Amino acid sequence: MRKPLVMGNWKLNGSKEMAKALVSGLKQNLAGVKGCDVSIAPPVMYLDEVNGLLAGSNIVLGAQNVDTALSGAFTGDISATMLKEMGAKYIIIGHSERRTYHKESDEFIAKKFAVLKEAGLTPVLCIGETEAENEAGQTQAVCARQIDAVLNTQGAAAFNGAVIAYEPVWAIGTGKSATPAQAQAVHKFIRDHIAKKDESVAKQVIIQYGGSVNDANAAELFTQPDIDGALVGGASLKADAFAVIVKAAEKAKAK
C-alpha cells in the first residue's frame, strides 16, 4: 500500500510575508492529516525561513532544484548537502521548466538523481511529454527515455524510496489537466516500465501526477490506482485549495 504524497511547488513565487501567511494557513488546514505525506518547495531563498515556520507540523520541506556538484567553482548553484542542512527532503529535479529554459538533459538530470540518493535525499523526478510529442503519439517513448536515463545508469533499485512526477508539459499552468483516464494510462505505463526491471521497486515507487491539479479536479484524479498524489504548482499558493487536494488524496487512498 503506497502512501500518497502531495507536494507544492511554489516555483518563482513568494516573499517572506507570503511564506508566513501561507504556511500558517497550511498548518491550520492540515493539522490532522495522517494518510498523506505533504511537502512544500519554496524558492531556495526561503528554505531556512520556511523550515522554521514548519516546526512542529506534519509538512515536510522540499526544494525545486539541486546541482550535480557538492562544492567548488559553480557560481549560483546549490548542493545536495546544503539542501539537506536546510532541512529539505523531497527535491524536484527534471522539471520541464528546467529542461526547457536551462536546457537540462536527461543525463544531467540522472546525475542529480544520483547525487540526491547519495546524500540521503528523495528525488522527485519530473517527466512528461510536450504537446507536439503527445500529438505525435510519443508519450510513452518520451517517458521511457527520461526514466531510462536513471534506470540504465543506476539500476531499478535507485527508485526505491524515490518519487516520479508525471507532468505532461501541455498540462502545466494551462488549466487543461490530463483526464484521470489519460493520466492513469501513463502512470501504469511508467510503473510497468520499471517492473520490467524490478517488480517490487515498481510497486512501491510513488508516481505523482502534475499539471493543472486543483481543488476541483484532484479527487477524481486520485481515484486512479496508479496516481499516488500530485505535484501542484499554482494551486499550492493557496492554503485552502492545497489543503483540499491533500485531503482528497488522503480520502481516496484510504479506501
Ligand X SMILES: O=C[C@H](O)COP(=O)(O)O
Least distance in angstroms from the C-beta of 172 to ligand X: 4
Q: Does 232 bind ligand X (CB under 6 A)?
A: yes
41 pairs with which residues across the strands? 9
Q: How many CB atoms lie within 10 A of CB 141?
A: 12
x-or-dash string of contact with ligand X, 94-113, rule CB under 6 A: -x------------------
Residues in the chain: 255
Cell (9 digits) for 76: 549560483
Local structure of 163: helix, strand or coil: strand
DSSP 138: -
DSSP string, 199-245: HHHHHH-EEEEESS--TTTHHHHHTSTT--EEEESGGGGSHHHHHHH
Q: Does 167 bind ligand X (CB under 6 A)?
A: yes
Q: Which residue, 91 or 201, is less far from ligand X as judged by CB?
A: 91
Flag whether 56 is marked binding.
no
Q: Does 245 bind ligand X (CB under 6 A)?
A: no
Q: Does 233 bind ligand X (CB under 6 A)?
A: yes
Q: Which stretch binds ligand X (CB under 6 A): 13-21, 104-112, 197-205, 208-216?
A: 208-216
Rounded-to-integer distance, Cα 134 and Cα 30, Å: 36
Assess whether 95 carries a catalytic annotation: yes
Q: Which residue, 85 or 240, is less far from ligand X as judged by CB?
A: 240
Q: Which of residues 2-31 bind ligand X (CB under 6 A)?
A: 9
Rounded-to-integer distance, Cα 61 and Cα 144, Å: 29
Flag whether 10 is marked binding.
yes
Assess whether 167 carries a catalytic annotation: yes
Least distance in angstroms from the C-beta of 41 to ligand X: 8
Residue among 47, 149, 213, 243 that touches ligand X (CB under 6 A)? 213
The separation between the first and the last C-alpha atoms of the chain, rounded to the nearest angstrom, is: 11
Contact 247, 26 (CB under 8 A): no
Contact 126, 167 (CB under 8 A): yes
From the candidates 97, 104, 167, 250, which is the catalytic residue?
167
From the candidates 95, 97, 104, 250, which is the catalytic residue?
95
SS3 content of the chain, % helix, strand, coil (to 5): 50, 15, 35
Give the residue numbers annotated as catalytic, written as ranges. 95, 167
Binding site for ligand X (CB under 6 A): 9, 95, 167, 172-173, 210-213, 231-235
- Per the annotation, where are the binding residues for substrate? 9-11, 173, 212, 233-234
